[in-house]
Amino acid sequence: MSFFKPRARSAKPKAPVIRPLEINGRTLPLTIRQNERATRLTLRIEPGGRALKLTVPRGVPEREVNAFLERHRPWLATKLARFSGEPTIEIGGSILVRGVSHRIEHTGLLRGLTRTAVDGDGEPVLRVSGGEDHVRRRISDFLKKEARRDLELRVAVHAKAVGRKVKSISMKDTRSRWGSCTTEGALSFSWRIVMAPPKVLDYLAAHECAHLQEMNHGPDFWALCERLCPQTADAKHWLKRNGTMLHAIDFT
């Protein structure tokens, strides 16, 4: 959410300021950062809905910043409301695995693998062993392992298609991007992508492998993405609509 507001440049940008902002009973950290290239105030909800970022051109008075935030309280309240019903990572709650909601079931066993299964009613479940206080960690470990397996398989296919070698593949929990590719061929992915449908994970693998050949986001890059993954448009749309939901899930 933004509005056009050109301003004269001051001599030196101020350091970022972090302050709390209360929205409908929720207090979120708001980072206010000056940008010498900015021509307007731009307000953004960070992935997961846990923080806010406001970019401000140099020279904008604090009273205008406060007025801008006050005007956009209704917009923030509406957008943040979507984060109130995220899956609960606890026994009896649910978690997405490859786009399918699985009920979290504690086996009561101290040892054993975390695994997907089907209960007596034919409903998908994720069975987790170990202590109850370790359920979230064991689920995140399971997702990381599954993400690596799926991504290694799809990267091998797409890297072969573009005739390039992959130096390494790493799993991270990044919030600003789903994947990255270096000029040396090192690929990095957010393991949370394994919660998305397989076509979305395949698109992400294709996207980063396309960067092995096209280190840009120009027409040739997107044409290559479409060739590697014909469902590119659908996958991008799914991520745009649901990506923040995946980031919002707290495994700590």
Q: Does residue 143 sit in the same domain as residue 201? A: yes
Q: Does residue 221 sit in the same domain as residue 131? A: yes
User: Does residue 6 surpass a pLDDT of 90?
Assistant: no
Residue 89 inside a domain? The answer is: no
Q: Does residue 68 sit in the same domain as residue 104? A: no
Q: Does residue 107 sit in the same domain as residue 209? A: yes
Band (pLDDT 50/70/90 cuts) for residue 1 is low
Write down which residue in 83, 105, 122 finishes a domain. 83
Q: Does residue 217 sit in the same domain as residue 146? A: yes
Tokens of 230: 């014909």
The pLDDT of residue 3 = 46
Residue 184 inside a domain? The answer is: yes
Percentage of the chain lying above the pLDDT 70 cut:
92
Domain of residue 209, CATH code: 3.30.2010.10
Number of separate domains in the chain:
2
Q: Does residue 192 sit in the same domain as residue 219? A: yes
User: Does residue 87 surpass a pLDDT of 80?
Assistant: no
Band (pLDDT 50/70/90 cuts) for residue 85 is low
User: For residues 157 and 32, what is the distance between their CA atoms, to the nearest angstrom?
Assistant: 43
The pLDDT of residue 244 = 82
pTM score of the predicted model:
0.72
User: For residues 132 and 134, what is the distance between their CA atoms, to the nearest angstrom?
Assistant: 5
User: Does residue 207 surpass a pLDDT of 90?
Assistant: yes
Q: Does residue 131 sit in the same domain as residue 196? A: yes
The pLDDT of residue 84 = 56
Residue 88 inside a domain? The answer is: no
Q: Does residue 69 sit in the same domain as residue 121? A: no
Domain that holds residue 210: 94-248
Q: Does residue 183 sit in the same domain as residue 71? A: no
pLDDT tens digits for range 21-69: 888 777 888 989 898 888 999 998 877 677 889 999 988 999 999 999 9
Task: Give 29-35 contacts, CB < 8 A, sequence gap 24+.
Answer: 30/54, 30/69, 32/56, 32/65, 34/58
Write down which residue in 31, 55, 83 finishes a domain. 83
> What is the number of residues in the chain?
252
CA 213, distance to chain mean position in Å, is: 25
User: Does residue 236 surpass a pLDDT of 90?
Assistant: yes
In sequence order, what are the residues at sequence separation of 6 or more whose Cβ sits closer than 8 angstroms to the Cβ of residue 63?
A: none
pLDDT tens digits for range 97-142: 999 989 999 998 888 899 999 988 788 999 999 998 999 999 999 9
Q: Does residue 40 sit in the same domain as residue 107? A: no
Q: Does residue 172 sit in the same domain as residue 236? A: yes
- Bridge partners of 30? 19, 52
Write down which residue in 43, 61, 83 finishes a domain. 83
The pLDDT of residue 94 = 86
Q: Helix, strand or coil for residue 121? A: coil
Band (pLDDT 50/70/90 cuts) for residue 88 is low
User: For residues 60 and 25, what is the distance between their CA atoms, to the nearest angstrom?
Assistant: 28
User: For residues 29 and 222, what is the distance between their CA atoms, to the nearest angstrom?
Assistant: 36
User: Does residue 7 surpass a pLDDT of 60?
Assistant: no
Q: Does residue 50 sit in the same domain as residue 104? A: no
CB 65 within 8 A of CB 54: yes
